[in-house]
Structure 1
């Protein structure tokens, strides 16, 4: 018990010193299939988001999937971002994005396009740390488009992309659960118990950009 308490206190100190970190268990049919790590670091007007999901599951064959996203905001504006996903170690898709004078350059699998937006202030990288509202739009470089939240219930919102639908549940402004529906399977990201307790005790707080 003392060891658990010490670890928890150490975790809270880590949050204070280096930013915010959330860890989710990825659950399918009651069993763990992986983990999602989400980080936010705020320093001198610059906010960095990092999301990494690693899962392993079997549907006739074994699959190992990794998704990684990094985004940087400066004074509330997205200035750069990268993402990739792999299947059994092979890259399936890779994106890079950076702000130019009045547009963004987006590179998807080596093909460069222009995003005709002078500023992007809302993106998918931030949604674990900020509860949205009905109709809120967030930009996804991975899909090269805006995605729109729809309110499903009390502190619960759905977000539909070409891949499928995610339903996000929030407590005290922090995402505590994501229910994910895809053609091949349904699964959930569930905030780990010690982190959920920290959210409910307001040890982990929503922060603005």
Structure 2
């Protein structure tokens, strides 16, 4: 009986790799001024040439209240097919203002950000969501599913990378052995840290 179980497990593992199916889940605790203010979950799954990223952020901010952000990105053959980002706060009227969608149409991307339409005429292979799963070695720019535009990224010290936001603020991503262990986010309310707690 044990022999059959081992054979079944080995065959299942081989089929999983042969079909290219995988899943990753990372959980981060969010702190500000040494106080826990929320959590981030980063989930990636793939099957053959298809890949799907989901990022869920749940924050409790003093001046704003609850801020829930959901980001999704779909890839085929490592090219972005579509992405969406929705940020909801306690204020109902802000729901439509904080949504961004990106859709590949023919060879260009149709983007709607804060109700404004634009087009991006370049291939997108790396998005901000990818930073949770892949150290951006030799990557110079990434597409922001939230901002609806390309952002510059540059290497700092070993395992550290600086993502430059549209307003000039810089977020720092820190990796250990290729795994994202911390994000330092700089915004109007000060510094916020995402620290890996489970993977």
After TM superposition, the score normalised by the length of structure 1 is 0.77
In the other structure, the counterpart of 2:13 is: none
Aligned twin of 1:8: none
State the match for 2:40 in structure 1. Answer: 36
- Shift in alpha-carbon separation, 1:46–1:134, aligned structure 2, 3 A: closer
Q: Measure the CA separation in 1 of the matches of 2:46 and 2:139.
A: 26
Aligned twin of 2:158: 154
Post-superposition Cα deviations, 1:72-98, rounded to whole Å, max 9, x if no partner, equal: 000110001111112225324101111
User: Could you say which residue in structure 2 is the equivalent of 1:183?
Assistant: 188
SS at match of 1:153: coil
Q: Unmatched 5+ residue regions in structure 1? A: 1-15, 196-209
Aligned equivalent of 1:107: 112
- 1:80-119 superposed matches below 5 A: 80-90=82-92, 91=95, 92-117=97-122, 119=123
Is 1:47 the counterpart of 2:46 in the alignment? no
Inter-partner Cα distance in structure 1 for 2:34 and 2:138: 30
Q: Secondary structure at the match of 1:34?
A: strand
Unmatched runs of 5 consecutive residues or more in structure 2:
1-16
How far apart are the structure 2 equivalents of 1:57 and 1:141?
A: 22
Aligned to 1:69: 71
The CA RMSD measured in Å over matched residues stands at 2.1
Is residue 121 from structure 1 mapped to residue 128 from structure 2 by the alignment?
Answer: no
Moved over 3 A (4+): none
| Number of residues of Structure 1 aligned to a counterpart in Structure 2 | 177
Give 1:165's aligned residue. 170
Counterpart Cα distance in 2 of 1:78 and 1:104? 9
Shift of 1:122: 1.3
